[in-house]
Structure 1
């Protein structure tokens, strides 16, 4: 027996302008007006920037001005490099690269919405018919569930930062959502055209983040076809596999023909893929449960309830398909010996879709508990963001203002009326949303998650508007890169660098530093990155002899108390 009994009034969909506004408020803050963030964001931008200013060899061999990044598939960086070449002169190169991030986000969001919509329209997902009629139409029910899935997807805490980074993971999660959408259509109406589209999408995913995830998805679809006794799908899925190999094969063939820098990234790329598979250990299991709880909030409580509520219809496509994808990526995360947040990203699209089907069966008390948690925590967070900004602008409260300035030495606060009005309007809209939810007690399905997603969007918008100048001042490498550039000659030179990839990327972009490339064998300069507490004991890497080098400069970011860079010049 189906667990859902709903009147048509519960399936009032969100207005389209409201969904578009939420998506824009979500994605635009964090894309506009900031420098590349330390970590994957700056690293990926460095690869894109190198490609955009390089030759065909640089497009085939992903690297950051000479630092090989063989584990990175090239697709996301190709798209970002194209955006830099087309829009870099207008928007600035970092912003142009982040245009690709916005496109990836829209692809993932639309895929989650349409996958849920198609699943929600199926007969097996429909609510029970009411005795005197009045149950919702299939299209209305599917559309309301799709709105709920999108709100849950936007509310996931783990997606927040990653969806704004110029990284391969941003494209990976969007392609995963799109493949999930294609899988819904393939199981619903098996056609060769859909199988070919699925194969192309799997091939694109191989070029984005390796072959382990696409191979696992294909195996999952095969097992699900057998489980649902849809054996006719096996031929179509089998047809998609050779299609999936065509795109990465073209990349590999091009590498062998061009032979960039007399080498190939393929052996290192294959080795990186193999390292993703190992027997699950206690470290990976503990990491998954320790970080997965907040990473997938608020999706996992609703998804868990959906599985329980629909336990007697476990073969229904709206349960079995997202659950199969979720289990696939959970297993991959547990088998990966490297504990990283990016491993949890692919679980979010199937989890959001699964969670949407838990909304119609949730008890009112549970919905109210989630709402009050969202209102309490997110309102308090937004209030603290406002209080910190007031302290930054006015110096009151005194201790908080002093702490903020201490964390960003040299920062000078400035007042931007437009930013202030935008943040104030968003805050007022939040309180109106809370009032609407509490006073009317609306019966629509998405009421259970509108406060969670709305509060997350509010906090993110406040943080990346009011606090953006302060954040930029703390994280940017621009001042130290320019300081380093002043110590170097104007003529041609090269630096052998032992620094992180994100630092290398930032120095190359902001300071136009000429790092050693694939063809440079002996450089006149060397740059080391070390910890401040070990600065007096800085040791040159092994085969360099200290007596052959002179220290000419040492510097660090004003806001970083640990990271320090030292420049050496080779003695004549």
Structure 2
């Protein structure tokens, strides 16, 4: 492997690894998917909450958690599944770009995808949508390979099976229909290899769909939940402009590059390099216009066709635009690094005092505590960024390489300086530790008004059994979301503790002990 390719591979690893491990489930999607995984692992698979859950992501997450259980907590081990699926998507989108535009476009597509701002957080959390993201990349590669090799049909059919297992039945059907439409409507797809490959892909897709439906019927699993069809039921709450509006920042800077590629090749719109990603992007936007539950997680798939078009646009970018993107990246991420270091000084040294006070009000619990390891790691990351900028060479990839390296550097610096404080602020680890300090391991805790997600997270962090109701336990935990108001409980309970996540004022927990217990 050449030094340049080794460096690019190391950059991808540097993007993937920070933030995957070393912290508890954080508020938001990370916690939601961890709760679902916990319920599946603890014999609650028949409950309404997880019945018919698409198995691909959670099976892989369970496997990675088991393989790393000797040295990683459950949440960290499971989160590695997201890293694997993102890595798979990178690999297949690079192969698709190579098929469509040539060898140089492979790394251009991978860097453009990694440089998308929306992928940064969603790709580093427990996120079942990353399984659909990877499956879509496999199907995209299969279609791109059809004109040159009948084996593309095998990847198309295999990707269909993965997409079904990931809960993307509508997306699987869309990709298969687009493959047929491109064969019929675009001369570049009408080759003998494409005809044989498309036939193979359709057969494999039908077999996969039949086997999956047969399995669901045999297990008495509701088709609607397993195929995720509830997303498309009804039109009362549709937000058709959610995804087009979100892509403005979510897919930056891929979409300006994609727009340039479309403009430059506007007279070649039937060529595979234009027709395939453009058709996939438009088809997905049309499909998602009927999504009743739009969200950033699902938008990951939209990044794939934009990354392909962005790769074509990057390789043909004019010098002035390339320089503008490069220097914008240097200034933006350089300024962000300066801000992060100022906040580190406020957090660890207490200076500037005004910023330190703001961090305390935001729930940072150890303001003024110097952490030498954070300083050392942050220094290493910053030095690596400076050395990279000094050594990066001129090439068509350089603008996107600097942008993606800047995002990687900023994310790595954030994790080096603030992962531990953010963990305390965004997780329920502190509340779980408070419960563990007061309740013996053999005792149980009844709950009142505690939401299922919080109950599972607190059980995980505390190691105590939290019951859905008062079932004879000597302890009672009550959750309230009304600021400064203590809940009303029966006189047999005596309050022993109250608290919540640092900085969280509207979500409080109250722990009571039964009077005269024991």
Q: TM-score, with normalisation over the residues of structure 2?
A: 0.87
Helix, strand or coil: the match of 1:565? strand
| Residue 330 (structure 1) shift | 1.7
Q: Which residue of structure 1 aligns with residue 172 of structure 2?
A: 214
Q: Matched residues in 2 for 1:90 and 1:241: separation?
A: 39
Asked if structure 1 preserves the Cα contact closer than 8 Å seen for 2:337 and 2:410, the reply is yes
Q: Which residue of structure 2 aligns with residue 456 of structure 1?
A: 407
Q: Which residue of structure 2 aligns with residue 86 of structure 1?
A: 67
Matches within 5 A, 1:119-268: 119-121=100-102, 142=103, 144-191=104-151, 194-229=152-187, 230=190, 232=195, 235-246=199-210, 248-249=212-213, 251-253=215-217, 255-256=219-220, 264=221, 266=223, 268=225
Q: Which residue of structure 1 aligns with residue 505 of structure 2?
A: 561
Q: Relative contact order (C-alpha < 8 Å, sep 6+): which is higher?
A: 1
| Residue 351 (structure 1) shift | 0.8
Gaps of 5+ in 2: none
2:240 corresponds to 1:284: yes
Asked if structure 1 preserves the Cα contact closer than 8 Å seen for 2:115 and 2:404, the reply is yes
Q: Matched residues in 2 for 1:357 and 1:373: separation?
A: 21
Q: Matched residues in 1 for 2:326 and 2:289: separation?
A: 31
* Cα RMSD for the two superposed structures: 3.2
Asked if structure 2 preserves the Cα contact closer than 8 Å seen for 1:149 and 1:356, the reply is yes
Asked if structure 2 preserves the Cα contact closer than 8 Å seen for 1:72 and 1:168, the reply is no
Q: Matched residues in 2 for 1:569 and 1:291: separation?
A: 48
Helix, strand or coil: the match of 1:189? coil
Distance 1:477 1:148, change over 3 A: same
Q: Which residue of structure 2 aligns with residue 474 of structure 1?
A: 425
Helix, strand or coil: the match of 2:509? strand
Distance 1:240 1:49, change over 3 A: same
Moved more, 469-478 or 325-334: 325-334
Distance 1:495 1:243, change over 3 A: farther
Q: Matched residues in 1 for 2:367 and 2:48: separation?
A: 35
Helix, strand or coil: the match of 2:508? strand
Q: Which residue of structure 1 aligns with residue 307 of structure 2?
A: 352
Counterpart among 242, 250, 253 of residue 298 in structure 1: 253
Q: Which residue of structure 1 aligns with residue 386 of structure 2?
A: 431
| Residue 468 (structure 1) shift | 1.1
2:495 corresponds to 1:531: no
Asked if structure 2 preserves the Cα contact closer than 8 Å seen for 1:508 and 1:515, the reply is yes
Counterpart among 42, 60, 69 of residue 50 in structure 2: 69
| Residue 470 (structure 1) shift | 1.2
Asked if structure 2 preserves the Cα contact closer than 8 Å seen for 1:280 and 1:335, the reply is no
Distance 1:394 1:496, change over 3 A: closer
Asked if structure 1 preserves the Cα contact closer than 8 Å seen for 2:127 and 2:297, the reply is no
Distance 1:433 1:89, change over 3 A: closer
| Residue 251 (structure 1) shift | 4.3
Residue by residue, what CA displacement relative to the aligned partner does 1:427-467 show, whole Å, maximum 9, x if unpaired? Answer: 23333444556xx7x2x211221221111111100001111
Counterpart among 348, 361, 369 of residue 324 in structure 2: 369
Gaps of 5+ in 1: 1-12, 122-141, 257-263, 540-545
Counterpart among 248, 251, 271 of residue 316 in structure 1: 271
2:19 corresponds to 1:30: yes
Q: Matched residues in 2 for 1:14 and 1:179: separation?
A: 31
Q: TM-score, with normalisation over the residues of structure 1?
A: 0.79
Helix, strand or coil: the match of 2:292? coil
Q: Matched residues in 1 for 2:295 and 2:499: separation?
A: 30
Asked if structure 2 preserves the Cα contact closer than 8 Å seen for 1:310 and 1:319, the reply is yes
Q: Matched residues in 2 for 1:216 and 1:463: separation?
A: 38
Distance 1:89 1:156, change over 3 A: same
Residue by residue, what CA displacement relative to the aligned partner does 1:473-499 show, whole Å, maximum 9, x if unpaired? Answer: 211212212334566675575745644
Q: Matched residues in 1 for 2:181 and 2:146: separation?
A: 15
Asked if structure 1 preserves the Cα contact closer than 8 Å seen for 2:138 and 2:155, the reply is no
